[in-house]
Chains A and B, each alone.
Chain A
């Protein structure tokens, strides 16, 4: 049973006051708040089970290794991968994307090959492929969305060519909220022999990921956005692809055998986890995912969808407010501008009212500029967001409007 008021009790930070005001946290798209289950798990792990992993044959090292590998299994279940070895722990989603570009991308891309991105990519995806396309002399192409911010099958398909080798797309835009039809994208991509990397950072917060149903080749998401710790990300890759890829970084724990002259590398996932990994963060991430998995994801989706519609409707009642990207069935983010008020000025006043929203270009500067802005404000929802949050946000918007009039 999905009871948001019960859920809120699991997130202690929501109870703290902001300058005497209720904490109205509407920046989950930037980073989500943390459930007690995760905080307790990390605390207990360090207190009772901690040692380095994959090394000692003593009790604590065994416990820690078990916890770390169990975290991998939890992630595997969360995204329905075929086996735990398809899950690589990284520092962030950004690192996951960089890993794919620097290993798979660098080894297959040749002069004249094409990498295809949407116009709505986050800098983590955009800048990484832009730079690796330059390094490999591949060309970088973009497909446009429709004017209302929705995915255009026509634009996507006409941007494909026989030279398209990699398609790197978000599953949900962090600016527009648009959900991309990943399954269809993958099917089309595979029919021309291209591989697909999915940036699932936003999608993972709001919708159930099924990598087998998507049939994507790679998928990355970050821990901190799915109510997990900072400093941990997940990269999924189809095992056969991972097994062909060269290492990303060199060091301990990623080797099979080392001599003074030569090294043979371990099989995935170890091959891509050089050095001591973010052990406690992986364990904490698993606790957050387990927390999420106790709910029926379709109930979370339905609740958030309703709240998103409510928020959009209430926002549009505010005179002069424009939502950027307001298609039905979008994820829980509303980027917006208010006539004659700069987003940063707005955010200062909202902040004083206890309301946290993001302002700026949301690490998608080309898209925000393309939409005709240098800066926007964004309110985003999470599992703990309520109608009261939206109502307080709207009240604060009116306050800001009267303040700047």
Chain B
């Protein structure tokens, strides 16, 4: 599964009902967090549902896990995780999520004018990427 595949899949879906059903299907594939993973520090504030995103800083990429107590939101998280999968910090910062959600026909979920917190999730992911870049710079300064 890649984001191009996803865009392709979504383009065959007519109307919101089919798109939402597919989103829910994608969400169902996400593993549920254990209670120990649902920590306050991983919680995204400003969402109308509870959303958790955990970053794993790996050698050249950042890997994310996510969960929510709302099922359509879990689908949105699945899409967001797909968008940012196997990406370096710089790549994460360069991605235009709104454009991709536009192509998926899900733009309403990720635009800043709909302050339902979905965008906070992307902001938090980009924040982690910024932190990682700063860390790297510091590392290169110290080691260099």
Contacts and interface: CB of A to CB of B under 8 A. Distances in A.
Interface in A332-365: 342-345, 347-349, 352, 359-360
A403 interface: yes
Contacts of B48: 343-344, 347, 359-360, 375
B17 A403 contact: yes
Given A360-B48, A374-B50, A375-B48, A342 B70 contact: yes
B73 A344 contact: yes
Contacts of A403: 17, 20-21
B115 to A, nearest CB: 11
Interface string B7-19: 0000000001100
B50 A345 contact: no
Interface centre among B47, B69, B72, B116 (most CB of A within 10 A): B72
A33 to B, nearest CB: 18
Nearest to B46: A360
B97 interface: no
Interface centre among A342, A343, A347 (most CB of B within 10 A): A342
A404 interface: yes
A345 B71 contact: yes
Contacts of B17: 352, 403
Interface string A392-405: 00000000000110
A160 B63 CA distance: 55
B49 interface: yes
Contact of B20 (A343, A344, A348, A374): A348
B18 to A, nearest CB: 11
Interface string B47-62: 1111000000000000
A349 B21 CA distance: 11
A158 to B, nearest CB: 35
B25 to A, nearest CB: 13
Contacts, number: 38
B72 to A, nearest CB: 5
A345 B16 CA distance: 13
Secondary structure of the A side of the interface?
helix
Contacts of A342: 49, 69-71, 73
Interface string B75-114: 0000000000000000000000000000000000000000
Contacts of B21: 403
A219 B73 CA distance: 40
Given A344-B48, A344-B116, A359-B48, A374 B69 contact: yes
Interface centre among A343, A345, A360 (most CB of B within 10 A): A345
Interface string A352-395: 10000001100000000000001100000000000000000000
Contacts of A347: 48
Contacts of A352: 16-17, 20
Given A342-B71, A344-B116, A375 B20 contact: no
A348 B50 CA distance: 15
A372 to B, nearest CB: 14
Interface in B7-46: 16-17, 20-21
B70 A344 contact: yes
A301 to B, nearest CB: 31
B49 A375 contact: yes
23 contacts: A342-B49, A343-B48, A343-B49, A343-B70, A344-B47, A344-B49, A344-B70, A344-B72, A344-B73, A345-B49, A345-B72, A347-B48, A348-B20, A352-B20, A359-B48, A360-B48, A374-B50, A375-B48, A375-B49, A375-B50, A403-B17, A403-B20, A404-B71
Q: Sort A-B residue pairs by CB-CB distance and give the 8 closest, nearest first.
A: A342-B70, A344-B49, A360-B48, A344-B70, A344-B48, A345-B72, A345-B70, A352-B16
Interface of B: 16-17, 20-21, 47-50, 69-73, 116
